[in-house]
Structure 1
Amino acid sequence: MKLIACALALGIFGVQPLYAGETVDVDVGGGMVVKLAKDRPLKIAFFSEGTNNSAMTASIEGAEEAAAKHGWAIDVFDGSFDAVKQSNQIANALNRDYDAFIVKPLEGNTMCEPASVTAPQRNILVVNAVLPICGRSGKEGEAQWSPGTLAYVGGTQTPDAFLEVLHKVRELAPGPQKVGILTGNDLNPITLNFEAALQRFLAETPDWSVVAKARTDWSTPVAFEKAQPIVSAHPEITLYFSHYSNMTRGIVQALEAAGKLGNVKVFDAGGTAWAKQAVKAGTIDFTTALYLRSNAAASIEAIAAAQRGEPVPRVIQNEGKPITKGALVQFIDSSNVDAYQPEAD
């Protein structure tokens, strides 16, 4: 994995010089066209939110593997969950010789102008992955695409998707519930989408009460640290939930340490290899499929299709995987867990 975490030396400010070889005109909407090199391997910049959990590692690996199939060079930028750092990274990369960006933003509004305005002005093609930019993080369907970019790839972590998950939890755990929840970090678009879904769900489910909630950095050690005092202070909790498996794993560890594992229900979204084994063991009731390796690969393939002059959908749903029965979310439980192939550890 090639990571570029420090600031790059600034180049000459201004529009990228047009490539002198054969190019293809790529319509990115908003009246903008990117002239993409057609007769040589491309150079890609991949902007990751961070590298500290299995989802991000899987995403980076998916992008690197897909780029290698095309003989393309790819540089990975670790945002370290720091929106200012990521903003500086993309600002510096705009002055280098990249043909395309894959942008997984930490804060969508900050990334809007550089990704959807400045990049196409400099003949850099942009795919926006996982977290929509330009105020579109809470949108659904086609509204997740931002003009100025080639495509948006994602769709499984929107408010509607999380509401589907919470409805499934309610189906399997009917009646009054006292709930403990772990989420991602503040201001993260996925966290905000989950919170929006949770508010809608609680409004329609008055016999649920959230008695404890904690933010994390998405990692298992921090989730364990945050879950321990909740488990200790709130013996009345009947159900735990988190919206990513690394956090759920921390909840399970805290319950196990307190001797309470098996006494409460635990539900998960994220579908890691750990979550698959936890479903098989009966430790958690279900998880949801999350294909972030496929998401990154689909982002690369969208750029490849554009280079070939082929049409590219503006929104590529379900992380690039086929849609299952028209639903936003695929649930993994004891009935189908053996067939599920997780993409993250």
Structure 2
Amino acid sequence: MSHAPSKSRTALVAAAAAATVALALAACSDGGSSGGGSTTASGGGGEKVAAVIKGLDNPFFQAMQQGIEETAQTDGVDVTVQAAADIGDTTGQADKLSALAGQDFGCFVVNPISGTNLVQALVPVGAAGTPVVNIDNPIDADAASAANLDIATYIGTDNEAAGGKAGDFVVSKVAAGSKVAIIGGVSGDVTSAARVDGFKAAVGDTVDVVQEEAADWKRDVALTKATDIIAANPDITAFFAANDDMGLGIVKAVENAGRTGEITVVSVDGNQDALQSVLDGGLSATVAQYPYAIGSLGVQACEVATAGTDLPAEIESPTALVDASTAQQALDAFPQPFQEFDNPLTDLLP
């Protein structure tokens, strides 16, 4: 997201290269479920930051972890990263945060699985006056207010706008009145709902949304759902998936049905395997967001907050639609944005 997770362009290039190699190795060794874990990256004895993120069974959060750790090492921050066991491990994630909350950290970066699952664990953190930086998935504002929890800043994607970019792409690819299906994440999830709402607003009445399903953010569930949708609607022309993992499940269902190249599939995230799928002609497009940079900005926001400087209430991370014409460019730049982005924290960093 930023031009540098550190404060120099040179450091950015080195960090991005290291992260790309690390993620590639993770992808090779990961059988699809890395599980929860804890890592510590020492930045030379500086401010101590705790980060609690979603499950590393999804490459999106592997990239986020890399962004957090690379930036901490470069900027002289000691960071401890805890990850949920998987993307549905709401209780386990809260337990890990509770264990960290009693320790001597100067700032917390949190990426909750749901809008409320980390609120109670954050109560003692807020009571102690320790800054809380919320990234990627927003903490429910009403729940935070009820718990008297003050969030220093929220850093993440405009998910409605991301869904809108996917909708615009679908409208450009299919005929008016075409049948389209939507596969969202966990039912009731704020992020999924925003992406789906943005998609629907963009397509409007131009297409016929014949079915909408929830696949819990999981590839295998999306594969099953999409298989059933194709069987019930043989004239389906396009799918929208609220994340890349589900998008790749849909791609497999399309392939199994012998419909590759006939059915447009667009998703959101811009993970490395999704970018490769776009390049290879699987996914039609992905709306890329940049988890490496979201993690990087989370650490930088903690640096600003612990220095006593006020943060903006929200920091929007960039998105970009990646299709066959830009997939190679996006892969070459991964995990960094392939389009320029001005880091709003640059002038605030100590």
* TM-score after normalising by structure 1: 0.73
Partner residue, 2:128: 122
Q: Distance in 2 between matches of 1:261 and 1:289?
A: 22
Does the CA contact (< 8 Å) of 1:290 and 1:343 recur in 2?
no
CA contact (8 A) 2:242 2:267 kept: yes
Summarize the Cα distance change of 1:281–1:85 in structure 2 as closer, same or farther, 3 Å threshold.
Answer: closer
Confirm whether residue 104 of structure 1 aligns to residue 117 of structure 2: no
Cα shift readout 1:23-43 (whole Å, capped 9, x = no counterpart): xxxxxxxxxxxxxxxx95233
Q: List aligned pairs for 1:62-211, cutoff 5 A.
A: 62-69=67-74, 70-78=76-84, 80=86, 81-112=88-119, 114-115=121-122, 118-135=124-141, 148-157=150-159, 159-201=160-202, 205-211=204-210
Q: Please, which moves more after superposition, 77-86 or 266-275? A: 77-86
**5 Å matches for 1:220-235?**
220-235=219-234
More helix by proportion, 1 or 2? 2
- Shift, 1:147, TM fit: 7.3
Instruction: Tell whether the 8 Å contact from 1:290 to 1:342 is kept in structure 2 after alignment.
Output: no
1:237-248 alignment, distance < 5 Å: 237-248=236-247
Mark the structure with the bigger radius of gyration. 1
State the Cα distance separating 1:295 from its structure 2 match: 0.3
Asked if structure 2 preserves the Cα contact closer than 8 Å seen for 1:52 and 1:219, the reply is no
Indicate the residue corresponding to 1:335 in structure 2.
325
Contact 1:181 1:210 in 2 (8 A): yes
Cα displacement (A) at 1:65: 2.0
Paired with 2:134 and 2:276, the residues of 1 have a C-alpha distance of 32
How many residues of Structure 1 are paired with residues of Structure 2 in the alignment? 290
Could you list the structure 1 runs, at least 4 aligned residues long, displaced by more than 6 angstroms after superposition: none
SS at match of 2:69: helix
Aligned-partner residue type, residue 209 of structure 2:
V
Aligned-pair CA distance for 1:201: 4.6
| Structure 2: gaps of 5 or more residues | 1-33, 39-43, 337-350
* Native 8 Å contact 2:180 2:207 kept in 1: yes
User: Structure 1 CA distance, aligned partners of 2:142 and 2:213?
Assistant: 25
Matched residue, 2:64: 59
Distance 1:199 1:256, change over 3 A: closer
Measured at CA, do residues 343 and 226 of structure 1 come closer, stay the same or move farther in structure 2, by a change above 3 Å?
farther
**Other structure's SS at 1:269 match:** strand
C-alpha change, 1:251 and 1:89, in structure 2 (3 Å) is same
Give 2:81's aligned amino acid.
Answer: D
Q: In 1, distance between residues paired with 2:305 and 2:35?
A: 25
For the 8 Å contact 1:48–1:79, the answer to whether it is kept is no
